[in-house]
Amino acid sequence: MHLSALSLALLLLGASVLAVVICRRVNLPPVLGYLLVGSIIGPHALNLMDDVHRVEYLAEFGVVFLMFSIGLEFSLPKLYAMKRIVFGLGLLQVVVSMLLIAGLVMLAGFMLFVFIREPKEYESTGEERPELLANLRLILRDPDRSALRLFLAHFFWFIALNAVEAFFTLYAKNHLGYPGEHGSRILGQFLLTLVLFALPAGAIGGKIGRRRSIMLGLSLLMATLLTIYFLDRETLTTVITRLPVLGTVPVVGGLLMVCGCSWMLVNVNSLPMVVDLTDDLHAGTYTGIYYLFITAAAIAGPNINGWIIQLTGNDYSSIYIASPLFIALAFVMMAGVRRGEARSPRAVDEDRTAR
């Protein structure tokens, strides 16, 4: 909804007064009312203020008036008289908050230590715990190279994903002509689908198999990113619908939501596939190698994609033709993976017995 400057100012003032009255009735600080008004009127709820840049100056004046009012109320004698409240209770609040957070972290670690048991096969079989270099040699000597192919696939598809996440706001600003906050909001629509589609992606992996789910997700990712590249700016910025939390959803936002669902098909099923590539003895080291590859991709991805953007004359749309190339490499790697599907409890027991 597009409102004039006067209408927007009157709306903010009226809503703020109403919020203050309600907060005082329920004995809450007026600041909570101001925050609630901003959250409701802003672009992430009712979207009555779709362009936040129009009220930036008003917000700056608000900060000035806030500091001015604090200065009027500030008094050293009054502060000294309230020293027990300000310094005593204030310091106590900080200390209690820190202790509470530390206690929760320690409780989580204690529960992990008590309820999550490491397997006892190390003691019963007499095998030594595997070292990283030894496992790397095993991966390289693997006859079907399934582990190596899977780790390289992780490296390639995380480079592709880093390009989309790291450069989308710049792409939205420089290629689509959106203000900065619009790009972040549209990227938020992509991130929300990651949360919503996590459980369905796992269910699909259990139904049709992890490898098929990953390859399906990679195929959809390639198709969707190429669609974004070849569509013109006017089509990508066309509004499809307006949702309560997400706000306006343009075509590019809808395509990114498809990318989010596709990415979940890949990401949710990838780590379990790594774990089931091997036995319990080597699972921890394989998991570490998994994180080694995705961390390497997180380091190399922004640099590689930044070079691509520079080589194309700062054309940020080039990431939507480069990312499908990395995804295609990941698809080729996944095509050669022969192991990693979920094993039945009986197969796990047989494997332990054989060892």
pLDDT, tens only, 184-218: 888 888 888 888 898 999 999 989 999 999 999 99
From 178-187, 217-226, 230-239, 284-293, the region with the lowest mean pLDDT: 178-187
What is the distance between the alpha carbons of residues 150 and 236, in angstroms, rounded to a whole number?
Answer: 34
Burial class (CB in 10 A: 0-12, 13-18, 19+), 131: exposed
At 327-342, the pLDDT tens digits run 999 999 999 888 878 7
Q: Report the pLDDT value the prediction gives residue 54, as an integer from 0 to 100.
A: 60
Please provide the average confidence, as pLDDT, over all residues in the chain: 81
Helix axes 319-335, 280-311, angle to 10 degrees: 150
Q: pTM value? A: 0.66
Helix (H) or strand (E) holding 250: strand 247-250
- Given a contact cutoff of 8 angstroms between Cβ atoms, the answer to whether 266 and 323 are in contact is no
Every domain of the chain and the residues it spans: 5-74, 80-115, 134-354
| N-terminal to C-terminal alpha carbon distance within the chain | 67
The SS3 assignment for 74 reads: coil
Which pLDDT band, with edges at 50, 70 and 90, does 47 fall under? low
Q: Which amino acid is at 98?
A: M
Class of domain 134-354: mainly alpha
The SS3 assignment for 28 reads: coil
Which pLDDT band, with edges at 50, 70 and 90, does 348 fall under? very low
From 15-29, 73-87, 104-118, 154-168, the region with the lowest mean pLDDT: 73-87
What is the distance between the alpha carbons of residues 322 and 136, in angstroms, rounded to a whole number?
Answer: 30
What is the distance between the alpha carbons of residues 84 and 82, in angstroms, rounded to a whole number?
Answer: 6
Q: Report the pLDDT value the prediction gives residue 4, as an integer from 0 to 100.
A: 66
- Given a contact cutoff of 8 angstroms between Cβ atoms, the answer to whether 273 and 286 are in contact is no
